[in-house]
Amino acid sequence: MKELSLNILDIAQNSLTAKSTLVEILLEETDETLRITVRDNGCGMSEDMVRRVTDPFCTSRTTRKVGLGIPFFKLAAEQTGGRLELESVSQDVSPENHGTVISGLFYKNHLDFTPLGDVVSTVCTLIQGCGGVDIVFRHTMPNGEVETDTREIRAMLGDIPLSEPEILMWIRGNLEEQYAEVNH
Ligand SMILES: Nc1ncnc2c1ncn2[C@@H]1O[C@H](COP(=O)(O)OP(=O)(O)OP(=O)(O)O)[C@@H](O)[C@H]1O
Ligand SMILES: [Mg+2]
């Protein structure tokens, strides 16, 4: 994939599919590293599933098909000398406290580091399609931070859906303004 923001979209879409009510996307940047974490409170995965999703090519013929969203994310991290961490608690195991945390560590100065790309569009796409699911996005950089939280936006908007074009345009503008302030 040409941009890490597309990997993020993929990973966060898994969280929406998993019937989460809250999805947090955290980007933590230093001069040398970028850590991308997606945390959700969705249905979680069994231990067997966790093993299989991170290693799709090392499976027996009888294994049913699994996708490539997580393997691509893992590959993108590992090719920079980084790694993927995945923790998941299935709702079958823990009905009260379940969910998934997937985190990739990237070394930004590595030749094979994929640029982050248009993360604002990724966040807006997710918010557009999130329905009632809440999304928190926070990007911390050495010079400052960018943040949005649909719980706060919903509290301001009342009954207006986040998918209204005017609202999405406002969210996009607000994020771009925050990035401009950090990068000025
Ligand atoms: N956050 C999550 N919560 C629960 N299950 C998950 C989560 N993320 C992934 N999974 C499970 O792992 C599987 C593999 O995910 P992955 O993104 O690698 O492929 P996919 O979503 O099946 O297909 P695609 O290639 O379209 O992304 C999913 O089908 C889902 O069953
Ligand atoms: Mg997927």
Task: Find the length of the chain.
Answer: 184
Map out the domains of the chain as residue ranges: 4-183
Task: From 66, 94, 103, give the residue whose CB has the most ligand 1 atoms within 8 Å, as the site to mutate.
Answer: 66
CATH fold label, 4-183? Heat Shock Protein 90 (3.30.565)
φ/ψ of residue 84, rounded to 5: -110, 140
> Cα–Cα distance between 97 and 103 in angstroms, integer?
19
> Cα–Cα distance between 177 and 116 in angstroms, integer?
18
Q: In sequence order, which residues have a C-beta less than 8 Å from that of residue 68 and are 6 or more positions away?
A: 56
Question: Average pLDDT for consecutive 10-residue bins of the chain (184 residues)?
Answer: 91 96 98 98 94 69 66 95 97 96 98 97 97 97 98 93 95 98 94
Predicted TM-score (pTM) of this structure: 0.94
Q: Are strands 99-107 and 83-89 parallel, antiparallel or unpaired?
A: antiparallel
Ligand 2 midpoint to CA 16 (Å): 10
